Amino acid sequence: MTVRTLYAQHVVLGEGETLRVGPATLGLESGKIVSVTEGPREGAVDDDLGSLLVAPAFINAHTHLAMVGFRGLVGNASLRGNVVEDLFFRLESKMSAQDVRAFSRLGALESLRHGVARVWDHYYFAESIAAGFCDVGLRAVVAPTLQDLGGPGVAQLDAQLEATETLTAARWSERGIHAALGPHATDTVSAALWKRICAVAGRLDLPVHAHVAQSVEEYERISERHDASPMQWLEHLGVLAQAPHLLAVHAIFVTSRDLLRLDPRRHTLGYCPLSQLQFCFPAHVPSWQEAGIPWIVGTDCAMSNDAMNVQRELVHVAGIRGFGPTSSAAFAQFRREPSLDAARRVDAERTAALDALGVLAEPATLLASVWSAPGRMHPAFTAGVIAAGAEADLLVLDPKHPCLWPGTDLLRALAYCDTSSALHGLMIGGAWRIGLGQVDAWLQRDEHREATAEAEARLEALAG
Residues in the chain: 464
Average pLDDT score over the chain:
94
Identify which of 193, 196, 259, 272 has the alpha carbon closest to the alpha carbon of residue 230.
259
pLDDT at 4 over 90: yes
CATH 2.30.40.10 domain range(s) in the chain:
4-57+384-443
In this prediction, what percent of the chain has a pLDDT beyond 90?
Answer: 86
The pLDDT of residue 77: 66
CATH 3.20.20.140 domain range(s) in the chain:
58-322+360-368
pLDDT at 258 over 80: yes
Q: Give the 3-state secondary structure of 275-326.
A: HHHHCCCCCCHHHHHHHCCCEEECCECHHHHCCCCHHHHHHHHHHHHHHHHH
Q: Kindly state the average pLDDT of the residues 115-142.
A: 97
| Long-range contacts (CB closer than 8 Å, 24 or more residues apart) made by 437-441 | 439/113
Residues 6+ apart with CB under 8 A from 191: 237
Q: Which DSSP category does 2 fall into?
A: P
The pLDDT of residue 463: 81
pLDDT at 69 over 80: yes
pLDDT at 56 over 80: yes
The pLDDT of residue 73: 72
Q: Could you report the per-residue pLDDT of 172-199, keeping only the tens digit for each?
A: 999 999 999 999 999 999 999 999 999 9
pLDDT at 78 over 70: no
Q: Could you report the per-residue pLDDT of 271-306, keeping only the tens digit for each?
A: 999 988 887 789 999 999 999 999 999 999 888 888
Are the CB atoms for 389 and 382 separated by under 8 Å? Answer: yes
CATH number of 4-57+384-443, picked from 3.40.250.10, 2.30.40.10, 3.30.420.40, 3.90.1560.10: 2.30.40.10
In this prediction, what percent of the chain has a pLDDT beyond 70?
Answer: 98
End-to-end Cα distance, the chain: 53
Judged by DSSP in three states, 37 sits in strand
The pLDDT of residue 462: 84
**Taking the complete model, does pTM exceed 0.75, yes or no?**
yes
User: Per-residue confidence at 59, pLDDT binned at 50, 70, 90?
Assistant: very high
Residues 6+ apart with CB under 8 A from 90: none
CATH number of 58-322+360-368, picked from 3.30.565.10, 3.20.20.140, 1.10.8.60, 3.30.470.10: 3.20.20.140
Q: Could you report the per-residue pLDDT of 425-458, keeping only the tens digit for each?
A: 999 999 999 999 999 999 999 999 999 999 999 9
